[in-house]
């Protein structure tokens, strides 16, 4: 399937040139500031706010701690409506913060939370909504905002996949009360490990910065039971380097996205999520739905590709609602989540990353089309 014997994975880290990294490491070494909001940390926050077109960015050591801290910063209690079709960190953050996840079904076209299902899931104990911009494709933010305003609910977007994604109003990260990013190694933009909270004003950022530093509001003053969520200077330096190359990385992803769509468009039983016409997409993932009229089942195609050195991912399968810590919830039952349950058994993410040779993508598409 590929020119080398190495397997082809869904995503692989995009690494900055080593020659560009060495001077920054020397600067860190000379400064002897390794963490605690040092100069690289401050520079990356400013650079990201400018690049993304958002008011404030608070960096974190990973996206999961950022999610937990976002809930704490907004003092979210009780029930939070969220999607079962996401990485498990979305719901885990709610459990860690003491909230009860309430799952609502997803839209069959976008695989994002269905606003109509959100509204039917609201109870007197509901205090917030945590939607996910799944695969980096924006939720119906206008509908979610209307629901939140009507019922006086907080909205925290899990925007782990949505770096650089825009809609007609600008950055999709500006919607909701807070948006949370992941900078894990396999993301469109990465700091090897990292994350961030996007917020609207300096006062909110100051509270978030306290919470991610054990609740410190000064050398001898602790104002909240915070956590250690700070990003190191090394990770911040990596982020500054990645920012230099992220536009080219997204462009390369776009080329692979376009190739897959062109080759798979007329394949019976294969549906490419989205129409490929999104003006401000980041091409974070390339999910296909393997439907019943394809020659193989989803799991058979998954195994056939793996047998030929390609490692696709059934992302997201199983549903979060199927894991033991969630399956007992009334909202987790299959009859409550028919669209999500079906999508989890059809979805297959194909390899897409900047260093994937276009010839390899061509062969993957041809393999699927020829079954």
* CATH number of the domain where residue 113 is located: 3.40.640.10
Distance in angstroms (rounded) separating the CA atoms of residues 199 and 370: 48
Answer yes or no: do 280 and 233 share one domain.
Answer: no
Answer yes or no: do 72 and 184 share one domain.
Answer: yes
Q: What is the pLDDT of residue 280?
A: 81
Per-residue pLDDT reduced to its tens digit, 121-146:
999 999 999 999 999 999 999 999 99
Q: What is the pLDDT of residue 288?
A: 98
Q: What is the pLDDT of residue 267?
A: 98
Answer yes or no: do 295 and 220 share one domain.
Answer: no
Answer yes or no: do 199 and 253 share one domain.
Answer: no
Considering the domain boundaries, does residue 13 fall inside one?
no
Among 225, 242, 259, give the residue marking a domain's end.
242
**Helix 18-31 vs helix 233-264: angle between axes, to the nearest 10 degrees?**
160
Considering the domain boundaries, does residue 3 fall inside one?
no
Q: Looking at the 3D structure of the chain, how many domains does it have?
A: 2
Q: What is the pLDDT of residue 4?
A: 56
Answer yes or no: do 51 and 172 share one domain.
Answer: yes
Considering the domain boundaries, does residue 183 fall inside one?
yes
pLDDT values of the chain reduced to their tens digit, one per residue, 371 residues: 555 568 999 998 888 888 999 999 999 999 999 999 999 999 999 999 999 999 999 999 999 999 999 999 999 999 999 999 999 999 999 999 999 999 999 999 999 999 999 999 999 999 999 999 999 999 999 999 999 999 999 999 999 999 999 999 899 999 999 999 999 999 999 999 999 999 999 999 999 999 999 999 999 999 999 999 999 999 999 999 999 999 999 999 999 999 999 999 999 999 999 877 676 899 999 999 999 999 999 999 999 999 999 999 999 999 999 999 999 999 999 999 999 999 999 999 999 999 999 999 999 999 999 99
3-class secondary structure per residue, the chain: CCCCCCCEECCCCCCCCHHHHHHHHHHHHHHCCCCCCCHHHHHHHHHHHHHHCCCEEEEECCHHHHHHHHHHHCCCCCEEEECCCCCCHHHHHHHHCCCEEEECCECCCCCCECHHHHHHHCCCCEEEEECECHHHCCCCHHHHHHHHHHHCCEEEEECCCCCCCEECCEEHHHCCCEEEEECCCCCCCCCCCCEEEEECCHHHHHHHHHHCECCECCCCCECCCCCECCCCHHHHHHHHHHHHHHHHHHHHHHHHHHHHHHHHCCCCCEEECCCCCCCCCCCCCEEEEECCCCCCCHHHHHHHHHHCCEECECCCCCCHHHCCCCCCCHHHCHHHCHHHHHHHCCEEEECCCCCCCHHHHHHHHHHHHCC
Answer yes or no: do 102 and 223 share one domain.
Answer: yes
Answer yes or no: do 222 and 336 share one domain.
Answer: no
Answer yes or no: do 26 and 140 share one domain.
Answer: yes
Considering the domain boundaries, does residue 8 fall inside one?
no
Per-residue pLDDT reduced to its tens digit, 156-181:
999 999 999 999 989 999 999 999 99
Q: What is the pLDDT of residue 279?
A: 63
Considering the domain boundaries, does residue 6 fall inside one?
no
* CATH number of the domain where residue 270 is located: 3.90.1150.10
Percent residues over pLDDT 70 in the chain:
98
Considering the domain boundaries, does residue 53 fall inside one?
yes
pTM, two decimal places: 0.96
Among 221, 242, 263, give the residue marking a domain's end.
242
Answer yes or no: do 237 and 214 share one domain.
Answer: yes
Domain that holds residue 290: 246-369
Among 185, 207, 242, give the residue marking a domain's end.
242
Considering the domain boundaries, does residue 122 fall inside one?
yes
Answer yes or no: do 157 and 62 share one domain.
Answer: yes
Considering the domain boundaries, does residue 11 fall inside one?
no
Answer yes or no: do 291 and 356 share one domain.
Answer: yes
Answer yes or no: do 189 and 271 share one domain.
Answer: no
């Amino acid at each position: 399937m590929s020119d080398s014997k190495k397997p082809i994975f869904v995503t692989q880290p995009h690494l900055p040139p080593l020659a560009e990294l060495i001077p920054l490491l020397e600067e860190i070494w000379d400064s002897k500031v390794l963490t605690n909001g040092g100069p690289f940390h401050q520079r990356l926050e400013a650079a990201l706010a400018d690049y993304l077109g958002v008011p404030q960015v608070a960096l974190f050591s990973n996206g999961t701690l950022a999610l937990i801290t976002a809930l704490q910063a907004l003092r979210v209690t009780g029930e939070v409506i969220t999607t079962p079709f996401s990485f498990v960190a979305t719901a885990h953050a709610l459990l860690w913060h003491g909230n009860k996840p309430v799952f609502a079904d997803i839209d069959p076209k976008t695989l994002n939370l269905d606003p109509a299902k959100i509204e039917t899931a609201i109870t007197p104990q509901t205090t917030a909504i945590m939607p996910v911009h799944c695969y980096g494709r924006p939720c119906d933010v206008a509908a979610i905002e209307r629901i939140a305003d009507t019922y006086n609910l907080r909205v925290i977007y899990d925007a782990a996949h949505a770096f650089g994604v825009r809609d007609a109003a600008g950055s999709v990260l500006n919607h909701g009360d807070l948006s949370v990013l992941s900078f894990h190694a396999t993301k469109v933009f990465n700091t090897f490990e990292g994350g961030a909270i996007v917020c609207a004003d300096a006062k909110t950022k100051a509270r978030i910065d306290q919470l991610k530093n054990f609740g410190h509001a000064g050398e001898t003053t602790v104002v909240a039971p915070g956590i250690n969520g700070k990003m190191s200077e090394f990770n911040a330096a990596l982020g500054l380097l990645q920012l230099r190359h992220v536009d080219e990385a997204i462009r390369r992803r776009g080329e692979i996205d376009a190739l897959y769509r062109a080759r798979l468009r007329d394949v019976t039983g294969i549906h490419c999520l989205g129409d490929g016409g999104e003006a401000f997409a980041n091409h974070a993932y390339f999910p296909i739905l393997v439907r019943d009229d394809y020659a193989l089942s989803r799991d058979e195609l998954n195994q056939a590709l793996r047998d030929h050195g390609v490692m696709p991912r059934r992302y997201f399968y199983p549903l979060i609602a199927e894991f033991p810590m969630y399956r007992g919830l009334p909202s987790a039952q299959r009859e409550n989540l028919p669209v999500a349950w079906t999508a989890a058994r059809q979805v297959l993410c194909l390899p897409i990353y900047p260093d994937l040779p276009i010839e390899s993508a061509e062969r993957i598409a041809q393999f699927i089309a020829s079954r």
